[in-house]
A and B are shown apart, each in its own frame.
Chain A
């Protein structure tokens, strides 16, 4: 720090300065976020190009559609998780919520075969929202760290799923049990694009718009940056965090319905272990694990990249066993990159302030 030890009385110009620096600083941050997201796009393009060179059929219609279908579920989960992580929380229970919601919506269709698809979707989201409400209530009201709470509900929701399945004596729901209208959803296309993927795109756009534009959306960032400062400045921290958990739960519920539509075979293991891929997608997409920064678009790109790696590796002649290792390496690279960018940004802002002070 090159700041002088004895500071002269602030001149009017200097008093106004911090605001100006703030605005210029935030423009810098904004540019960095764009650069960060372009980085993922570049990685994605590079991966796709390399794979296409190795195997031109990689970009065949069916292959791309399969890829988008797989990415859709992870993207919806990542969108919800981003909201939670931005508030400096985490929801590890989403895999179990997905499983519970998938099983619930499957059961609904088996028990009452005539249920319209819209009702099934809403029911799945409602199941998820209730799970999210429980998570959020414990976190916000009891003031217990979300990592612990959602680790607990990861087990509890999964156990509930198993309990339900074993007591209803319906351990597996097969494609034959599901109505045709619902199964069509899994394969339906609009202008050649799978409908499930379009659902994910809509979710990302809505969440992205909310986080960027709405006051309460901006407050989520404030809470994640400095929870205590957010509370002191009058943000209803508990209510906002609760909302983030409920929305995330509802989206995990939606992901459960998408899962049911895509795979059409449901047992109580659906979504097991997904929580790690979801958090990984967000982290790769530049969402800071300790809150306060990142965007849902980045997380969605992260989800797309992780899914693409899974499908591209075999095409590149690599053993599919390399997938998890590649995902792990990518996470480490992403957080190391974020750290480097953050340090550079801090140095730049400091340099700018120091120059101004002189």
Chain B
């Protein structure tokens, strides 16, 4: 604000990046999450108990898990709406294979491969046929969910071994923290490193900003995207396995509508729907914020359907607020001139 003399054109273009220390992407939402947790811990009875924290984390596990590869997909400017249907289809197949008498040790790898194939179908249609991922994955959303019903009908398979199902909801010692959080954190770390500290991660942002420019600078855009869809499929299948064990029930309609919650978490975390910006910290914070706000409101007896308002308003605020802030800032900058 104090600089009155207009700088030369070239530095002006670079100016926004140098304007003060830039906060890492997602720091606003993380701050918001911490503030919310502190306020809720003091004002909502039962929120800060180990039991409640355990429930909250169990609810967020699958959303956060699928959000990891999907964040990478969104960063490249694509989208995958079929993730929840992949969860459902994998759950249904898992149930059917269990009924057929296969051991879970064999079923799980098979289901993960299936997830990879489902992801590859998306990736093939998007990268080889050049179809828009939004339309493709709306199609496979319906297709995979439909196949889930074809495989399992409206039955439920619920006689999975106790050892597996109790592990799925077990916690570490007496901390209340679910055991699955540990492998999840490992995956978060791996994804964060890939996205933020490797050339692959940089290339994803490059694709999201300008696919042509990325291609001309030697990035194999189609191949990278294809693999991202495959990984998203595998991770969704993993989510399907966990979902099935957690609820002890394989059903074709498992995780219906979960894609919207995952995408809400990603967008709330500050990832641009057009690709090219955002980070993993924000996404994890976004997923946790959504889950803890819902959890806190449930504790004060707000009906769960009504909580949808909160999800919606949070999501819209998260995207509108930066726009408004940028516009206000822009106006203030222009004003003295």
**Chain A contact residues, CB within 8 Å of chain B:** 138, 142-145, 147-149, 151-160, 162-163, 166, 268, 273, 276, 279-280, 283, 289-290, 319, 321-332, 335-336, 339
Q: How far in angstroms is the closest Cβ of chain B from A292?
A: 13
**Docked-complex contact B313 and A156, CB < 8 angstroms:** yes
Q: Mark B109-141, 1 if CB is under 8 A from A, else 0.
A: 000000000000000010001111011101111
**Docked-complex contact A145 and B143, CB < 8 angstroms:** no
Give the complex CA separation of A332 and B122 in angstroms: 10
Give the complex CA separation of A273 and B310 in angstroms: 19
CB within 8 A of B138: which of A144, A149, A276?
Answer: A276
Residues of B within 8 A of A336 (CB): 125, 129, 131
CB within 8 A of B132: which of A158, A325, A335?
Answer: A335
Give the complex CA separation of A95 and B134 in angstroms: 18
Residues of B within 8 A of A159 (CB): 305-312
CB within 8 A of A158: which of B140, B305, B315?
Answer: B305
Q: A151-B315, A336-B131 are in contact. Are A331 and B305 (CB under 8 A)?
A: no
Residues of B within 8 A of A143 (CB): 323
Residue in B150, B153, B316, B324 with the greatest tally of chain A CB atoms within 10 Å: B316
Residues of B within 8 A of A325 (CB): 142-143, 145-147, 149-150
Residues of B within 8 A of A166 (CB): 303, 305-306
CB within 8 A of A322: which of B130, B139, B146, B323?
Answer: B146
Q: A328-B142, A336-B129 are in contact. Are A289 and B134 (CB under 8 A)?
A: yes
**Docked-complex contact A321 and B146, CB < 8 angstroms:** yes
Given known contacts A152-B264, A155-B264, what 4 new A-B pairs fall within 8 Å (CB)? Answer: A149-B319, A154-B312, A327-B143, A328-B139
Give the complex CA separation of A268 and B308 in angstroms: 12
**Chain B contact residues, CB within 8 Å of chain A:** 125, 129-132, 134-136, 138-147, 149-150, 153-154, 252, 256-257, 260, 263-264, 267, 273-274, 303, 305-316, 319-320, 323-324
Q: A143-B323, A166-B305, A166-B306 are in contact. Are A335 and B312 (CB under 8 A)?
A: no
**Docked-complex contact B319 and A144, CB < 8 angstroms:** yes
Give the complex CA separation of A330 and B147 in angstroms: 14
A-B CB contact pairs (8 Å), 20 listed: A144-B316, A144-B323, A152-B312, A152-B316, A156-B316, A158-B312, A159-B305, A166-B303, A279-B138, A321-B149, A322-B150, A323-B146, A325-B143, A325-B149, A325-B150, A328-B143, A330-B139, A331-B135, A335-B135, A339-B131
**Docked-complex contact A276 and B135, CB < 8 angstroms:** no
**Docked-complex contact A328 and B129, CB < 8 angstroms:** no
Q: A148-B315, A162-B305, A321-B150 are in contact. Are A142 and B143 (CB under 8 A)?
A: no
Number of A-B contacts (CB under 8 A): 153
Q: How far in angstroms is the closest Cβ of chain B from A245?
A: 14
Residues of A within 8 A of B311 (CB): 152, 155-156, 159
Give the complex CA separation of A166 and B146 in angstroms: 33
10 interchain residue pairs of minimum CB distance? A328-B143, A325-B146, A156-B312, A324-B146, A159-B308, A159-B309, A162-B305, A331-B139, A155-B312, A328-B142
Residues of B within 8 A of A156 (CB): 308-309, 311-313, 316
Q: How far in angstroms is the closest Cβ of chain A from B284?
A: 19
Q: A142-B324, A322-B150 are in contact. Are A153 and B312 (CB under 8 A)?
A: yes
Say what secondary structure dominates the interface of chain B.
helix
Residues of A within 8 A of B153 (CB): 319, 321
Give the complex CA separation of A323 and B147 in angstroms: 9
Q: How far in angstroms is the closest Cβ of chain B from A249?
A: 16
Q: How far in angstroms is the closest Cβ of chain A from B208?
A: 14
CB within 8 A of B308: which of A162, A273, A276, A328?
Answer: A162
Residues of A within 8 A of B154 (CB): 321
CB within 8 A of A151: which of B125, B140, B145, B263?
Answer: B263
Residue in A289, A322, A326 with the greatest tally of chain B CB atoms within 10 Å: A289
By beta carbon, the residue of chain A nearest B144 is A328
Give the complex CA separation of A353 and B130 in angstroms: 24
Residues of A within 8 A of B144 (CB): 328
Give the complex CA separation of A290 and B153 in angstroms: 35
By beta carbon, the residue of chain A nearest B131 is A335
Q: A279-B138, A335-B131 are in contact. Are A155 and B146 (CB under 8 A)?
A: no
Give the complex CA separation of A280 and B135 in angstroms: 8
Give the complex CA separation of A335 and B260 in angstroms: 22
Residues of B within 8 A of A152 (CB): 264, 311-316, 319
Q: How far in angstroms is the closest Cβ of chain A from B255?
A: 13
Residues of A within 8 A of B274 (CB): 145
**Docked-complex contact B316 and A162, CB < 8 angstroms:** no
**Docked-complex contact B323 and A142, CB < 8 angstroms:** yes
By beta carbon, the residue of chain A nearest B307 is A159
Q: How far in angstroms is the closest Cβ of chain B from A302?
A: 13
CB within 8 A of A155: which of B135, B143, B256, B309?
Answer: B309
Give the complex CA separation of A193 and B19 in angstroms: 67
**Docked-complex contact B140 and A147, CB < 8 angstroms:** no
Residues of B within 8 A of A162 (CB): 303, 305-306, 308
Residues of B within 8 A of A331 (CB): 135, 138-139, 142-143
Give the complex CA separation of A163 and B307 in angstroms: 9
Residues of A within 8 A of B252 (CB): 321
Residue in A145, A153, A328 with the greatest tally of chain B CB atoms within 10 Å: A328
Q: How far in angstroms is the closest Cβ of chain B from A82?
A: 14
Residues of B within 8 A of A149 (CB): 316, 319
Residues of B within 8 A of A321 (CB): 146, 149-150, 153-154, 252
**Docked-complex contact B305 and A276, CB < 8 angstroms:** no
Give the complex CA separation of A180 and B61 in angstroms: 50
Give the complex CA separation of A169 and B312 in angstroms: 23
**Docked-complex contact A324 and B149, CB < 8 angstroms:** yes
Give the complex CA separation of A326 and B314 in angstroms: 35
Residue in B257, B308, B313, B323 with the greatest tally of chain A CB atoms within 10 Å: B308
Q: How far in angstroms is the closest Cβ of chain B from A218?
A: 24
Give the complex CA separation of A327 and B150 in angstroms: 13
**Docked-complex contact B142 and A155, CB < 8 angstroms:** no
Give the complex CA separation of A142 and B267 in angstroms: 16
Residues of A within 8 A of B323 (CB): 142-144
